[in-house]
Chain A
Amino acid sequence: MIGGGHLAYFAIMALREMDPSGRIVVIEFTSEKVDMLKKTFPFTEAVLSSIEEVENYISKNHFLIDVLVVATDSDALNLRYAKHSIKNDVPIVIAILNNPLNEPIFARENVRYVINPYKTITSKIKEIVGKFDVNVVYEFSKIDGGIYAIKVENAKTLKRVRGFILKNDSPFFVLSADKRIRAGSLEDIQIGDVVYVPCHSREIKSFLRKMGG
């Protein structure tokens, strides 16, 4: 991990949970932060480094690094380190964004795994308020797709949704207006239901185009 701040906390806990006997090295740039890391995460190796030295560290140890998470408070620095790691064949490079607007910029630079911690805010608010056509509930990291919620507001949408599921042979489940979760047949979908469909992003984009969205 490069950066041991607020967002990094959750990444460190996730890594620890996945592999309790694995080795986690966290690099920070001030001795105060390194001391804090040692106290908060005694199972990690907290390393003090300078901004320039990190690239040398990655170059020297690239063959040992399985997963590199860049989580400093600067997206510019995160992008720099991510690109350097990819160039050094680190297998999994994950960037945690500070500014969601940088997501396409990271994608353009071939940083494959980018976590936008703010995406949940949009989809959660839409889910809570309940006013949407299509809501992105979850996006897969390794394939270009996700789970999408489609609100069936009227007969036209109902027809389109049934057509979409049939055409793509998609699995689905339904969250009905009376808060029941059902996996049933297409005929069971009614107006007022929210249909959850896992599919590729190109399929949902095609659906949105047909809906005029």
Chain B
Amino acid sequence: MSAITERRVFTERLGRMFGRDVTGLLGLLVLTVVVFGLTTPQFLSLGNFDSIGFQLPDLGLLTLAMLAPIMGNGINLAIIATANLSGLTLAWILNINGGPQAGVLAFVVGVVAALAVGGASGAAMGVVIAYFGAHPILASLAMMIFLKGLGEYLTRGGDISGFPAFLGEIGHGVVLGIPVPMLLFAVAAIVWHVLLARTRHGFSVAMIGSNPRASEYSGIAVKRSLTLVYALSGVMCALAGILMLTEFNSVRVGHGEALLLVTVLACFLGGVDPNGGFGRVAPVFVSLLILQTLSSGLNLLGANQHLSTAVWGLFLIAVMVFRYLAPTLRALFEIVRRPPPAALAPTRDSKR
């Protein structure tokens, strides 16, 4: 008996520390790691974790960019287009400053310009959504078509490459044994967490996501906050675009388009409420780790990227079904463990 209470105390403490959603997902992560570790010997090798460390950040940054608008009961379908256009901006500035001979100053200017382009695209979308009252799906869809078209128009559909060698240090570098992109993503995730969970703006966004009208009546600057959240989302896209440029040493419109719906998938897997208002960075971070682990595990087993895509989709369905059934299962579990009188209590009221 004491073992059970002890275990309960332990899980409750874990739950308090990370939140119940995170512990559940961490369990899933451990499960996938163990399953792949037992079935494929190379899975637990350092090389594999290294490759995860280089593959995860692109998807991760884009997922952060998707997370914030979803919290505000919106969505940003233009994230890939924004990232690519920002990457193009940086590429353009590097190229007019000598291409491979471009200096650090040109890079810094280019990064600032890229972030500005990302922020401006996001802000424009935010204005259409917040001030004109357009639906986020439609506004961001139109913005995606526009930005992608703009990129196609500027590049004529080709790719731009030929960048200074020091960019490789960012895209492929390692500091203290950790891939630089991973470090960048970790910092971005922490900043995003603080922004969403600890600042006034994050609070406003969550409130707007829960109930926009009540927020308006409570004195929250709904329109300004919404515009800002899309602008910040655009800046995060730009960061992803810059990182992708340094990793692939080229920029092309349409690059990474397959990631668009995967970012939404990662958010929902991470327990973000599709109706807005609720969502945290930590569980989304863990869900990204799960998706990437599944993908590289399957890859080592000899499956291709398409099978991973299918498994991601099926996995999301399974998690949604489990979340639906969880209260029932928990109630059943209680019935089995307790004497009969408690059996009268099982309800689904605990379901949000």
Q: Do A and B come from one complex?
A: no
B interface residues, Cβ below 8 angstroms from A: none
